[in-house]
Amino acid sequence: QLTMSLHSSTLLNEENAQGPKRNTECLESPKLQTPSSFQDNPLQQLQLASQEVLEKAKKSGRSKCPRCSSSRMFYCYTCFVPVETVPTKEIPTVKLPLKIDIIKHPNETDGKSTAVHAKLLAPDDVTIYKYPCIPEYGEKRHEIALIFPGPNSVSVKDIAFHLQKYTKKGVCASDDDCSREPLLKQAKIELEEEKNPSECISSSRSEGTRLKKIIFIDSTWNQTNKIITDERLQGLLQIELKTRKTCFWRHQKGKPDTYLSTIEAIYYFLVDYHQEILKESYKGQYDNLLFFFSFMHTLIKDAKCCAGKE
């Protein structure tokens, strides 16, 4: 579930090699509009903000990063900011229901990672760390979960139940922490009851899940062992996502198409969390997390099509 490959310069070279005229002809090709291809590509069903700004940037070519002045396409994957031809105000911002930490393997090429998409589109809720420089999660492990498949992994819908067991087992760093927490929680609830009883019920239900942060590993599958075995991640609740097929344009050799890119894993987790934990109808609230991903997917698909590879 943890594979990513995207190099902006490669994208640009592939796109420019075909030329704008051939790309247009390919986009208008009837065989790309068949019902089966629509079903095979869920990205076509997303509710996205206008991607006109990316279309314009594609036509104008590479541009400078406003921070490091490096030449990039669409965004700088080292500074986590859009390039000069992509005004920040024209990029959608996504508000997430919890915080996300992304732990990036040191050998993972910056330009091949889709993790930066999450930082660009949800800057207030996403933090990217380069391993081994990661936080200590021990004191907060009763409210943190790690997205990683394994024999002890649970489904999204079972998060609340398992985190509750973590609290009962006393995973706090000290007895003081454990004894102090219920008092703080009780005071918070009493305060909300004074405001509005109905709000208290809703808040208590949300508080009951206790999940406040989710961790993703940004790495090829073969590189994950070094990170997942780190002592700072031991004892965290592990979550396994429902099986979904990736739309990523660079599959890991020998791996099934159910191995998702990082941004896909984040997106699908949030959709499941919204429905299974928040118990709310999903109406595209997080679709814009795939704002860059879907555009690049189309760009690469069209380039391959025009090159006769599809």
Instruction: Please indicate, yes or no, whether residues 135 and 154 belong to a single structural domain of this protein.
Output: yes
Q: Which residue has the higher pLDDT, 283 or 302?
A: 283
Contact status, residue 12 vs residue 61, Cβ threshold 8 Å = yes
Beta bridge partners of 104: 130, 218
Instruction: Please indicate, yes or no, whether residues 67 and 123 belong to a single structural domain of this protein.
Output: no
Q: Average pLDDT, stretch 69-77?
A: 96
Residue 214 falls within a domain, yes or no? yes
C-alpha separations of 175 from 118, 180, 245 in Å: 36, 8, 44
Beta strands in 187-251 (DSSP E): 213-218, 237-239
The reported pLDDT for the residue numbered 267 is: 96
Summarize pLDDT for 27-51 with one digit per residue, the tens.
Answer: 333 333 333 343 456 788 899 999 9
Instruction: Please indicate, yes or no, whether residues 85 and 101 belong to a single structural domain of this protein.
Output: no
Beta bridge partners of 75: 82
Beta strands in 94-165 (DSSP E): 99-104, 126-130, 144-147
Please name the residues in contact with 28: beta carbons below 8 A apart, sequence gap of 6 or more: none
What is the phi/psi pair of residue 71, to 5°?
Answer: -85, 120
Q: Which residue has the higher pLDDT, 291 or 254?
A: 291
Instruction: Please indicate, yes or no, whether residues 58 and 160 belong to a single structural domain of this protein.
Output: no
The reported pLDDT for the residue numbered 227 is: 94
The reported pLDDT for the residue numbered 286 is: 98
Instruction: Please indicate, yes or no, whether residues 160 and 249 belong to a single structural domain of this protein.
Output: yes
Query: What is the band of 168 on the pLDDT scale with cuts at 50, 70, 90?
Result: low
Please name the residues in contact with 308: beta carbons below 8 A apart, sequence gap of 6 or more: none
Res 174 pLDDT > 80? no
Beta strands in 144-303 (DSSP E): 144-147, 213-218, 237-239
Report the alpha-carbon distance of residue 278 to residue 287 in Å, rounded. 17
Cα Rg of the chain (Å, integer): 21
Instruction: Please indicate, yes or no, whether residues 157 and 257 belong to a single structural domain of this protein.
Output: yes
The reported pLDDT for the residue numbered 254 is: 60
Residue 172 falls within a domain, yes or no? no
Instruction: Please indicate, yes or no, whether residues 157 and 72 belong to a single structural domain of this protein.
Output: no
Residue 15 falls within a domain, yes or no? no
Summarize pLDDT for 93-141 with one digit per residue, the tens.
Answer: 999 999 999 999 998 888 888 999 999 999 999 999 999 999 999 888 8
Residue 102 falls within a domain, yes or no? yes
The reported pLDDT for the residue numbered 41 is: 62
Domain range spanning residue 79? 54-91
Pair of tokens at residue 119? 């930082």
Supply the mean pLDDT for the chain.
76
Contact status, residue 236 vs residue 153, Cβ threshold 8 Å = no
Res 22 pLDDT > 70? no
The reported pLDDT for the residue numbered 301 is: 78
> What share of the chain has pLDDT > 70, as a percent?
68
Instruction: Please indicate, yes or no, whether residues 215 and 289 belong to a single structural domain of this protein.
Output: yes
Q: Positive or negative, the Cα torsion across 127, 79, 130, 103?
A: positive
The reported pLDDT for the residue numbered 30 is: 31
The reported pLDDT for the residue numbered 253 is: 59
CA 144 to mean position of chain CA atoms: 16
Summarize pLDDT for 257-300 with one digit per residue, the tens.
Answer: 677 889 999 999 999 999 999 999 999 999 999 999 999 988 88
Residue 257 falls within a domain, yes or no? yes
DSSP string, 163-177: HHHHHHTT-SSSHHH
Q: Which residue has the higher pLDDT, 286 or 200?
A: 286
Instruction: Please indicate, yes or no, whether residues 236 and 138 belong to a single structural domain of this protein.
Output: yes
C-alpha separations of 48 from 78, 124, 284, 294 in Å: 25, 20, 8, 9
Expressed in angstroms, the distance from the first to the final Cα of the chain is: 25
Instruction: Please indicate, yes or no, whether residues 82 and 149 belong to a single structural domain of this protein.
Output: no
Residue 294 falls within a domain, yes or no? yes
The reported pLDDT for the residue numbered 43 is: 81
Q: Which residue has the higher pLDDT, 41 or 142?
A: 142
The reported pLDDT for the residue numbered 167 is: 64
Residue 180 falls within a domain, yes or no? no
The CB-based long-range contact list for 274-281 (8 Å cut-off, 24+ gap) reads 274/97, 276/155, 276/156, 276/157, 276/159, 277/156, 277/157, 277/159, 277/160, 277/209, 277/211, 278/97, 278/206
C-alpha separations of 221 from 126, 174, 217, 227, 256 in Å: 22, 35, 10, 11, 11
The reported pLDDT for the residue numbered 112 is: 83
Secondary structure letter of residue 152 according to DSSP: T
Q: How many domains does the chain have?
A: 2
Instruction: Please indicate, yes or no, whether residues 230 and 84 belong to a single structural domain of this protein.
Output: no
Residue 299 falls within a domain, yes or no? yes
Instruction: Please indicate, yes or no, whether residues 116 and 262 belong to a single structural domain of this protein.
Output: yes
Q: Among 65, 51, 58, which residue's Cα sits nearest to residue 16?
A: 58
The reported pLDDT for the residue numbered 6 is: 36
181: left (phi over 0), alpha (psi -120 to 50) or beta: alpha
